[in-house]
Chains A and B, each alone.
Chain A
Amino acid sequence: MERVTLNANNESQKKEPLVLGIDTGGTYTDGVLLEYNTHKILATHKSLTTKRDFAIGIENVIAEIDIEDPSAIQMVSVSTTLATNAIAEGKGKRVALFLIGYDPDLIDSFQLSDRFATPNFHYISGGHDLHGHEKEELDLSGLLSKVDEIKRRVDAIAISSYFSPRNPEHEIRAQKAVSSVCELPIVLGHQLSTKLGSVERATTAALNASLLAVLQEFIIAVRRAMEHRGIEAPLMVVRGDGTLMNDEFAARTPVETIHSGPAASAIGGRFLSQKQNALVIDVGGTTTDFALIQDGKVTISEKGATAAGYQTAVKAADLLSIGLGGDSYITTDRKNEIVIGPERVVPLAYLSHQYPNVKQRLQALTKRSWPAPSPAELEYWFLQREIEDESGFSNREMDLIHLLESGPKPVKKLLEKMDVLDQSQLNIQDLWREEILGKSGFTPTDILHIEGLHTPWDMEASQASLTVFCNYLSMEKEAFLKFIWDEIAKKIASAVVHFLTEKKIPGDEVENENLGKWFLTNSLFPHHPHLETSIQLRDSIVGIGAPAQVMIQQAADILNTELILPDHYAVANATGAVAGSVMVTEEVLIYPHLSGDKVDVIGYYVQSREERSEYEALESALENAKQQGEEKARSAALRSGADNPQVVVDVHQEGMDTYRITAKAVGKPRLEV
């Protein structure tokens, strides 16, 4: 008998497109697999971030996320702190920056030269004025001889010309000439920023140049990991404002990925909570990040993104990040006061879970009563990975590595064995930076174990550590825990006010300084016996990140608002990586063509990134500029991976006869190869 199966139902059911979002944070790399249209989360994955090579953590997520048929994935999107980190740690490539028409005396007198993000900068005569007129002839042969001098010592070249957004001619001519004599990649200022700030534009160009190779390597590694899992799909990268661009664009404008991690978190918070207005607080392992959602969008900073103190002209979400997270180090300082963060360590619960004899030692410490062991004795060092080659290390470093080969050791013991009094005598910064050495200590995560709120690892180790603290400080356990939670709530509530007012919040010790400070302090941390003041946050707080529930509730209470914890709030950041839209903004400028004596307007220039044309009448200039902007934005959005982008054109008058036309093309990411 033949069996006939009726599965018309199955056949008519079209396969839902699947997308994979990945977020690399300071501590964890999170992955989330999601049905794109229904927003249904199918699988999540967490792996430890490897700072020395972010691609490793991402490869782990791609290799291990739970999916039967990886080829069904139609888009992979990544938010990454790669760029921010590379800048902060000086891992970018070597860049020579050419400043055309910049005034060296001006730069010197305002001490602006250390803002350029590269010590290797050179002045070349040339440049234009505010009206796009040539200020001085471009010294092309001077430029080329300088290039010849430095080309063997750099990996990329950045060029920024004075008033290039008004007239990029000198940048373009310089690029042609430089690319005729060497193979180095070249970045032009006007292609990254249409704003007039000449220093920020130069900084942006230099940073972008230093990151080109970094991001290219990263993309190649992610692509390779995708292939190993059989995923053939577009690869997107999140920008600092939370929108997406495909890997092609990202490889050319890596500077735009600054702050992409926190921006993705904010977008993920909105996506999961469905809130149009909210304050999103993302508690990670290392930091807590704040961002504001207004009318369904992440608010953008007017000033441009800052990375490692360098002010750029790149658009990024308005963010605040503080050094407080689930793995913040809790210890005592020299005055025996309890401090929380900003250093991030491995929780003792986790270390003991990996190395059970750590727990036995911690428990032994609780029995030593006189003198009571100090919290400093809870700090353990351990080897994070084996080293391949001993040659790059000093004898001291090798001694330390050998001591740790048998397992984690309390730092106190290590210092004794190494015969030094203080850690600073060891000179082992490289071992930390290269993530060879790891540090473990007491953290909020340990407290979550003690309170039974989150207990994946060894709770008894956390408990023993708590006893050590309490014995040393002669405190009751409940009082100690309450103190820690109060401190965390204060830090978060203060940060919220700081973020929204851009004013630093004083600590509670300055109550008498003036009425304003007193009022605010009393509102956040009530201390007056008779006067009650309070402060209220209008928006709800959307909490995301694994420790969010416990760490934010009290802060929300102080701010008299509700805390919303959407489903899957622990991986909202990775969700944000796929929830963003693809967006491209093109700007076209209109400014007058003035007569020689600069009195009469004889026409209007229409200046886009690539070209400049001239019109007699303002109306036709405006008409043409709008059309150009719209076309350029749409085609760039398509190339950048948008599906059916919609364009909105805005005209903004900037001054006399001067207009900025902004065309924004936005679309959902295209989900096919």
Chain B
Amino acid sequence: MELIRVDTKHAYKILREKITSLELKPGQALDIGRLANQLEIAQTSVKEALRLLAHDHLVEAPPRGLYVAELHLDDLKKISGIRLRLETYSAQEAAQHRTPDDLVILTSLCEKKAEDTRELFELDHKFHQAIAQAAHNNYLANTLEHFYGLSKRLWYLALPYLDFLPTAVESHIKLVEAIEEKEGEAAGEIMHTHISDFYQKIKRIITERDLMGSAG
């Protein structure tokens, strides 16, 4: 992002957050002029930020106009399938390559208490990022970051009906223990269960409550 303009970066950050937290709804039309006025940022930069978001698959650019990318039930399956495998791999690699500094960071993240759901999201995100860092493979970290962004929208969709987060935090602690002991296989398994439990619950909520409408 070094060669990207200051205001573009700023617009990108704000818009990405608005899209992934569903403040901008899937399928919603994006009016560059109006967004630029709202954010008090030059139009060129808003346009450029939306182009970057299209590259992230969070914005769609059909021949006419710009829209927040649609969200389908299908996406849940596709995204979870990839994340399940990559996060598992990430945990295995982390157990192999973690440094003492990585362990301090992971432990510190486990000890933190979130004050609200948004902070809990942040914390979970940070935790998964830290594991990818501990794997010391920047390609893996970048790819995971991309899928995390896509996944976050599904999470937000189910958010009002979620009540299982404390158990997720518990599995974080076990995971760090396995990574510390360099038990790659165990770490992979814990992560696998952690992620697949999560998506199953999300899927149940979304389908039971028909959160994506009949179109989903």
Contacts and interface: CB of A to CB of B under 8 A. Distances in A.
* Chain B binds chain A: yes
Nearest to B40: A224
Interface string A190-222: 000000000000000000000000001001110
B109 A223 contact: no
B21 interface: no
Interface of B is mostly: helix
A227 B44 contact: yes
B107 A141 contact: yes
B108 A181 contact: yes
Contact of B42 (A180, A216, A226): A226
A639 B2 CA distance: 9
Given A177-B101, A181-B126, A148 B108 contact: yes
Interface string B86-119: 0000000000000001001101110010000000
A148 B112 CA distance: 8
Contacts of B44: 227, 232
A223 to B, nearest CB: 5
A176 B126 contact: no
Contacts of A219: 6-7
B41 interface: yes
A177 B105 contact: yes
Contacts of B3: 248, 639
A140 interface: yes
Contacts of B108: 141, 144-145, 148, 177, 181
A183 B40 CA distance: 23
Nearest to A145: B108
B151 interface: no
Contact of B109 (A140, A181, A216): A181
Chain B interface extent, by class: 20 to 34
Given A220-B7, A223-B7, A144 B42 contact: no
Contacts of A251: 6
A52 B43 CA distance: 25
A413 interface: no
B105 A220 contact: no
Contacts of A177: 101, 104-105, 108
Nearest to A140: B104
A227 B126 contact: no
Nearest to B11: A220
Contact of A220 (B2, B6, B104, B107): B6
A227 B43 contact: yes
A133 interface: no
A226 B133 CA distance: 40
Interface in B67-84: none
A247 interface: yes
B105 A223 contact: no
A223 B45 contact: yes
B204 interface: no
A452 to B, nearest CB: 46
Contact of A247 (B6, B43, B101, B126): B6
A48 B130 CA distance: 50
B129 A180 contact: yes
B5 interface: yes
Contact of A141 (B104, B112, B130): B104
Contacts of B107: 141
B10 interface: yes
A143 to B, nearest CB: 9
Nearest to B108: A144
Contacts of B133: 176, 180
13 contacts: A141-B107, A176-B101, A177-B104, A180-B109, A181-B112, A183-B122, A219-B6, A219-B7, A221-B40, A223-B6, A227-B43, A248-B6, A639-B2
Interface of A: 140-141, 144-145, 148, 173, 176-177, 180-181, 183, 216, 219-221, 223-224, 226-227, 232, 247-248, 251, 639
Given A181-B108, A248-B5, 18 more contacts: A140-B101, A140-B104, A140-B105, A141-B104, A144-B104, A144-B105, A176-B101, A176-B133, A177-B105, A180-B130, A181-B105, A181-B109, A219-B7, A220-B6, A221-B40, A223-B42, A227-B43, A639-B3
